[in-house]
Amino acid sequence: HLEGDQCLKQVARTMSEVIQRPGDCIARYGGEEFAAILPETDSDGAIHVAMEIAASIAALARPHAFSPVSAHVTVSIGIASIVPRKEQKKPEKLIGMADQALYLAKNQGRNRWCVAGDSDTP
- What are 11-44's pLDDT values in tens digits? 999 999 999 999 999 999 988 899 999 998 999 9
Cα 69 to the center of its chain, rounded Å: 17
Q: Show the low-confidence residues of the chain (pLDDT under 50).
A: 120-122
Encode 43-78 in three state secondary structure: HHHHHHHHHHHHHHHHHHCCECCCCCCCCECCCCEE
pLDDT at 122: 46
Which listed residue (3, 17, 32, 52) is catalytic? 32
C-alpha span between 33 and 85 (Å, rounded): 28
**Sign of CA pseudo-dihedral 93, 114, 59, 32:** positive
87 is catalytic: no
The whole-model pTM stands at 0.87
CB 121 within 8 A of CB 112: yes
pLDDT at 66: 84
Q: Domains (ranges, CATH) in the chain?
A: 2-115 (3.30.70.270)
